[in-house]
A and B are shown apart, each in its own frame.
Chain A
Amino acid sequence: MSNYFEIKDLKINFETSEGIKNVIDINELNLHKGETFGIVGESGSGKSVLAMSILRILSSPPALIKSGKIMFKGKNLLGLKEKEIQKIRGKEISMIFQDPRSTLNPVFTVGQQIINVIRHNKFLSRKEAEEEALRMIKLVKLPDAKNTLHKYPNELSGGQRQRIIIAIALSCGAELLIADEPTRNLDVTIQAGILKLINELKEELKITVLFIANNVNLVFIVSSRVAVLYKGKIIEIGTSQEIKEEPIHPYTRGLLGIVSPVEREIKNLAEATLKEGIKAENSICPYFYECKKRIEICKKISPNLTKVNNGHWVSCHRVIDREVDNESTSISH
């Protein structure tokens, strides 16, 4: 496993009117260079918080990064000073957001906005920056590039705006793109276009993409590997194919719409976990209250991510036998 991008023991808390809530609690998450990695989660699972914490653009009250490391090419992003992280933003890691309406500044033309970013990151002259901007707009397959530069965001459609945003994000040579639900506020037909664009750009520019969404099917289309985020914790992680075909965690199965009539306890992974001496830090599984398959141990120990087979990890005490309908042998550890 490469050390291109790695999140270790990340804990983020939030100050709310009801006290301090833990929003992200991720033990380990790795990205390989050049892949598209998807993160699925429902609203409130902490996806956006995770995304924004990478580039450190979270508002510090109310969010508080309690501990952990985000390693990118050997540097801990969370430990960098403001000036240093600014050098990374836009130039090495870039981000696109969910609402194209509100992500563009309404009182500047889109051309001004791209050119601003290019000039500040690459120190080009005005003319050179303008040429570069035109190149980027053509790259995101927007017609009539020259005129588009002079338009204000409210004169463009949602899909067009999102393309501009992608152009801005990639204009300065970023090699890691964080896409935080980029198609959520778009029509289904436009969605397909944007996803296709992201895939094409990934091939063309050789970038790594972290794709975050709440629609699990979307994530499968774009990503090679997927992690499922639930209440700030990763509960399942594996290749798209694995998870699509053999989802194990009850929540994942719920997401995919799979309902199994009969369950069988296969192996008590918790004991094995304890034996290996891996710490189970929290005292209860995050999915406990909604889980229909919970057992005693789920109330006492939060399961860690445990390997099921090559590239497929789950955090669940009960491994659901997917082939229970066929009554075949269990998936064992």
Chain B
Amino acid sequence: MSKKSNYYNILVKRRLETLKEYLYLLKQNKLTFAALIIILFLIIISIIAPIIAPFPLHIYGAVNPQDKLLSPSWTYLFGTDEMGRDLFSRVLYGTRISLLGSLIAVVMGLFIGVPLGLTAGFYGGFIDELVMRIVDMFLSFPPLLLAMAIAAFLGPSLQNAIIALIISWWPWYTRLIRGQVVSIKEREFVRAARAIGSPSWQIMYKHILPNCISPVIVQASMDLGGIILTLAALSFLGLGAQAPIPEWGLIVNTSRTYFLKAWWYGIFPGMAIFIAVLCFNLLGDGLREVLDPKTKKY
């Protein structure tokens, strides 16, 4: 076995061990563990939604006017909407949209924010000042406000809502990682790398990044809950997914028109949002408890 593959084997083993340790610690907090299970459950649903939905054709179209606005029954578990579509199937499919959309938003936010923060922290000086001023400007808005304004001006659609979210969230990661970089930059191993003439990008990505990526990952996973909520809120306002996409927030919005006739309409999709966001927040909270530097003070 070559030296390199040996090295990677050891790395992988060590990563797995830390993972096992985290899982063990997580298991101790029953609430967090339950949240994790539900999230896995939701992920599975989002993948197999079109298969398990009782009325897959109802997800997008297939108007069924004779069955409109029926209350929940054994055929239509969550009832039907004004076009006769099965709400249960639509809500199931909505899982996919919410989870995937939020994931894309977070990942893209990281893709933009992390390199920017790395560069700003590493080079310092003018670049740092410039980037951080821009970041501060973005961070002076509460996220929903910024996302709302951007989505409004880009034109209401699911894609634009996700873009708006990306634009609203990347500055948080830039600031977080820049702070980490600034403190790591002065450490011995970085100086050593510089001394032997490693190119800057190598120092940044091979040496500095691995050491400061974990708080960012933790923050990103904690953000997922908030992003799902904001995406739903945007759709609720009419700025996100448009009909006939079965996005949860949009369904809740549509249900308002029929509030008096079909009160059950908006309850279930809203409940779905609540459960998803709650579980992600519980998980993030549990993660944070586990990863906090355990200064055992007595």
Contacts and interface: CB of A to CB of B under 8 A. Distances in A.
Contacts of B297: 59
B8 interface: no
B4 interface: no
Contacts of A52: 298
Nearest to B296: A62
A140 interface: no
A304 B264 CA distance: 76
Interface in B269-298: 296-298
Interface string A49-85: 1001000001100110000000000000000000000
A43 to B, nearest CB: 13
Contacts of B298: 14, 48-49, 52, 58-59, 62-63
* Chain A interface bracket (under 10, 10 to 19, 20 to 34, 35 or more): under 10
Interface string A148-166: 0000000000000000000
B166 to A, nearest CB: 39
A58 B296 CA distance: 12
Nearest to B21: A17
A59 B295 CA distance: 13
A14 B298 CA distance: 10
Contacts of A62: 296, 298
A52 B298 CA distance: 9
Nearest to A14: B298
Contacts of A59: 297-298
A16 B296 CA distance: 9
A58 B297 CA distance: 9
A62 to B, nearest CB: 6
Contacts of A58: 298
A60 to B, nearest CB: 9
A14 B297 CA distance: 12
A132 to B, nearest CB: 32
Interface string A97-112: 0000000000000000
A48 B296 CA distance: 13
A205 B298 CA distance: 31
A49 B297 CA distance: 11
Nearest to A59: B298
A156 to B, nearest CB: 24
Contacts of B296: 16, 62
Nearest to A53: B298
Interface of B: 296-298
Given A16-B296, A48-B298, A58-B298, 6 more contacts: A14-B298, A49-B298, A59-B297, A59-B298, A62-B298, A63-B298
What are the 4 closest A-B residue pairs judged by CB atoms, nearest first? A59-B298, A63-B298, A58-B298, A62-B298
7 contacts: A16-B296, A48-B298, A49-B298, A52-B298, A58-B298, A59-B297, A63-B298
